[in-house]
Copies of this chain bind each other. A is one copy, B any other.
Amino acid sequence: MAKANLFYAQSGGVTSVINASACGVIETARLNNDRIGKIYAGRNGIIGALREELIDTGKESAGTIAALRHTPAGAFGSCRYKLKSIEDNRSEYERLLEVFKAHNIRYFLYNGGGDSQDTANKVAQFSIQQGFPIQCIGVPKTVDNDLPLTDNCPGFGSVAKYVAVSIREAGLDVASMCESSTKVFVMEVMGRHAGWIAGAAGLAAEQEGDAPHIILFPEIAFDQKKFLKKVQECVKQFGYCAIVVSEGAQNKDGSFLADAGGKDAFGHVQLGGVAPFVAEMIKKETGYKYHWAVSDYLQRAARHIASATDVEQAYAMGQAAVEFALAGKNAVMPTIVRKPGKKYSWSVGEAKLSDVANVEKTMPRDFITADGFGITPAARAYFAPLIQGEDYPPYKDGLPQYARLKKVLAVQKLKPWKG
C-alpha cells in the first residue's frame, strides 16, 4: 500500500492538553513513516483544510513536537466552525475532499468535542460516497467532560485540578479575612450544560467547613430561597461561604442565571458573569461583603497546574487515533475506559463517531448531594483519579516555556476557497 498523508485538526474551545494529543498524533505518525507520509495540521482547525492552509509539521523539530506535550491551547490554531449538514452545504464537503485529494490525504484526525465528531462522521460517509474514502478518526477533547462513551475526556482532568486548587487557595484567603471583611466568595467555572467542572471543585473540601461550601450545578434548577438560606447557614457556622457556580447554572425554566446575550458560531449562547450576578444577589438579600472571580480562559489554559493523568491520557488518545487509522478503522474515536478495582487504572477503548456525535453527558443525579449543593462520595471516587499527579512544564526566567512553532504551510495546489 502506497504511503498516504495525514491531516490533523484542532476544533472548538482549546484545553491545556489538546497539544499533548497533537504530540501523540505527530510522534506516533512519525514512527510510522513507512505508511504515513506528510503529517499536516490545519491552520486554525478545519478552516485550514477549507482554505488549503496546511501546516507541514515535518518542518518542526522533534524537540518542538515533544514540547507540545507541555504547551497549552491550540498550537496550530483551532476554530469554532461547524460544517452544516451535507444537504445544506454540500460544497464545503466537496471542497474538503478536493483539498484532501490534492494533498493525498487519506487520514483525517479531528481533535474536538461532540460537534466535531459529528463533522468527522459526516466526512467519513461523504468520502465513501464520493469514491475517495478518508479514514476519519476522532480524538476526544473537551474541558466540559460531556462526551458520552468515554469515562472522561482529555482536558477535563486539568481544568478540574485547576478549579479544585483555586477554590482551596481562595477559600483559605476568605477564611483568613472573614471576621472583619469578605464573607462570601463566588467563583465561576466553565461547563455550559454539564456540572462536571463545578463538581470537581468539590474535591477541595476534605473536612467539614472546607471550601467550597456550595456548588451550583446546571443540572439542578436554581432555588433562590433555599440557596440564600444555605449561604446564611454557612456564614453562621464557618464564618464565611465559598461558592462555586457553573456558568451554565439555570433557573427552573431552563434560562441561564446570567445570560450575556451573544451567540457563537455553533448557536450556543455566550455565557459569562454569573459570579457577579450571584454575589450581588447575596449582597442584596443578606448584606454580606463579597468578592467574586471569573477565571474564564485561565482555567482551561492553565498548563502550569495540569493533571499528570490528564496529560498522559491526552497523549494516549492522539497515539491511539493514529494506531486506529493504521489498523484500517474508520469513523471511530478512542475512548478512556476505567478498569474495575480500587486502584485507578484505565485502558484505551473505542466508540463509533455516530454514537458520540451531539450527545451531551451530564452529571448523574447520584453524584450530587440530596440538597443539590455538593458532591457525593460516588462523585469523589469518580473525580479523584482524574486530577492525580503534577506535570510541570519547564521554566525559564520564572515563566513556563511553551512551544513556538514555525507553522510553515504546504504549497497550495488549488484555487482559493470562496467559502
Contacts of A276 on B, CB cut-off 8 Å?
A: 272-273, 276
In chain A, positions 282-315 with a C-beta closer than 8 Å to chain B are: 289, 291-298, 300-305, 307
**A176 close to B (CB within 8 Å):** yes
A63 CB to closest chain B CB (Å) equals 18
Interface residue tally for chain A (C-beta within 8 Å): 74
The residue that A173 contacts in the complex, of B72, B172, B305, B387, with Cβ under 8 A, is B72
Q: CA A181 – CA B268 in complex, angstroms?
A: 12
Across the interface, do B297 and A295 meet the contact criterion of CB distance under 8 Å? no
Q: What is the predominant secondary structure among interface residues of chain A facing chain B?
A: mixed
The residue that A181 contacts in the complex, of B80, B161, B185, B187, with Cβ under 8 A, is B80
Query: Could you say how many copies of this chain the assembly holds?
Result: 2
**A115 close to B (CB within 8 Å):** no
Give the residue among A262, A296, A384 with the most B Cβ atoms within 10 A. A296
**A168 close to B (CB within 8 Å):** yes
In chain A, positions 64-103 with a C-beta closer than 8 Å to chain B are: 71-75, 77-81
The residue that A172 contacts in the complex, of B47, B390, B402, with Cβ under 8 A, is B402
A239 CB to closest chain B CB (Å) equals 9
Knowing A80-B177, A272-B291, A300-B173, the reply to whether A165 touches B14 (Cβ < 8 A) is no
Q: CA A181 – CA B264 in complex, angstroms?
A: 8
Across the interface, do B304 and A165 meet the contact criterion of CB distance under 8 Å? yes
A203-224: CB near B (< 8 Å → 1, else 0) gives 1100100000000000000000
The residue that A304 contacts in the complex, of B16, B79, B169, with Cβ under 8 A, is B169
Across the interface, do A398 and B392 meet the contact criterion of CB distance under 8 Å? no
Can you name the residue of chain B whose Cβ is closest to the Cβ of A292? B296
**A389 close to B (CB within 8 Å):** yes
Q: CA A388 – CA B395 in complex, angstroms?
A: 9
